[in-house]
Amino acid sequence: MKSCVTISLVPSLQGGPWILWDDLTTSCRKANELGFDAVELFTEGPSAGDPGELGTLLEENGLALGAVGTGAGKVLHGWSLTDPGAEIRQKAKRFISEMITFGAMFDAPAIIGSMQGSHGNGVSRGDALKYLTEALEELGEIASKASVKLIYEPLNRYETNLFNRFNEAAEFLDGLSTMAVTLLADLFHMNIEETCLADAIRTAGSHIGHVHFVDSNRRAAGMGHIDYQPVMAALAEIGYDGYLCAEALPYPDSQQAAEQTINCYRQCTLSD
């Protein structure tokens, strides 16, 4: 397994669940100094820094791009894949498609989290799932052509009413014809929804493509009450060799949250 830390390049969302908040150059340097293998980016859209800057910074700092988040489409523009309006759904799809292409330049998958939206507000559950199916088939095909995966993230009940639990999301993906979509195990969301984190990981094993490594209170791993030993054992059992990516609140500040994460990651992967 490999370590990864989130960088937000959207200052207006300060206080959100991302660890590093400086400009791209400073954040990449910090990630490298702390010993992270990769960074996950949360950006306003399909670019980061000046043209060419991201590639140079990744190389200079020995970092990979672990993933790119697409949530800005929802939080900055209000778009989602299950919006009642066909035009908004189209904008959401176009935005994610651009983010897939952006991530793929660095072999990184895009994450669909809050862009999945919810049913209600005039959209039945059946219609919302139809829209989500169509979008994942289409976007999965785009990801596949770009030789990357597309990551779908089940969220807790306060953020979506589509899929909150891993086994339901895995069953849903099994019904799709695209093979490009994997699941994101965000331990914060799972702590709210699952009976047992380790069992949920084992059940959906073959689907897991990314992990948000965070604690029960959305602080850095080790600052809440998740017991990481059984979680790590389950990830090892399913043969997971992807990223443990810190998507957590910058509490008490970015530096301490990043240090706490890498220390917990090292403890958790000692025998890796």
Cite the active site residues.
153, 247
Asked if 212 is part of the footprint of Mn ion (rule: CB under 5 A), the reply reads yes
Q: Which of residues 201-260 bind ligand LER (CB under 6 A)?
A: 212, 247
Residues 6+ positions from 97 with CB-CB distance below 8 Å: 139, 142
Least distance to ligand LER, CB of residue 40, Å: 9
Geometric angle at alpha carbon 219, from 214 and 222, rounded to 5°: 65
Write phi, then psi, for 231 (nearest 5 degrees): -65, -45
Q: Three-state DSSP class for 150?
A: strand
Using CA atoms, how far apart are residues 96 and 151, in angstroms rounded to an integer?
A: 11
Output 149 or 212, the one with its CB closest to Mn ion: 212
Using CA atoms, how far apart are residues 91 and 113, in angstroms rounded to an integer?
A: 16
Q: H-helix or E-strand containing 209?
A: strand 208-212
CA 97 to chain centre: 16
For ligand LER, the binding residue among 66, 71, 140, 250 (CB under 6 A) is: 71
User: Which of these ranges, 19-27, 91-99, 152-160, 264-272, lies near ligand LER under the rule CB under 6 A?
Assistant: 152-160
Residue 71 touches which member of ligand LER, Mn ion, none, C-beta under 5-8 Å by kind = ligand LER
Q: H-helix or E-strand containing 190?
A: helix 187-193
Least distance to Mn ion, CB of residue 81, Å: 17
Burial of 108 (0-12, 13-18, 19+ CB in 10 A): buried
Asked if 247 is part of the footprint of Mn ion (rule: CB under 5 A), the reply reads yes
Asked if 186 is part of the footprint of ligand LER (rule: CB under 6 A), the reply reads yes
Residue 31 touches which member of ligand LER, Mn ion, none, C-beta under 5-8 Å by kind = none
For ligand LER, the binding residue among 66, 113, 154, 242 (CB under 6 A) is: 113
Asked if 153 is part of the footprint of ligand LER (rule: CB under 6 A), the reply reads yes
Asked if 44 is part of the footprint of ligand LER (rule: CB under 6 A), the reply reads no
CA 9 to chain centre: 15
Asked if 186 is part of the footprint of Mn ion (rule: CB under 5 A), the reply reads yes
Using CA atoms, how far apart are residues 17 and 25, in angstroms rounded to an integer?
A: 20
Site string for ligand LER, 93-112 (x = CB under 6 A): ------------------x-
For ligand LER, the binding residue among 1, 24, 155, 235 (CB under 6 A) is: 155
Least distance to Mn ion, CB of residue 23, Å: 23
- The two tokens of residue 18 are 């991302």
Using CA atoms, how far apart are residues 175 and 119, in angstroms rounded to an integer?
A: 19
Q: Which residues make up the interface to Mn ion (CB under 5 A)?
A: 186, 212, 247
Q: Which residues make up the interface to ligand LER (CB under 6 A)?
A: 69, 71, 111, 113-114, 153, 155, 159, 186, 212, 247
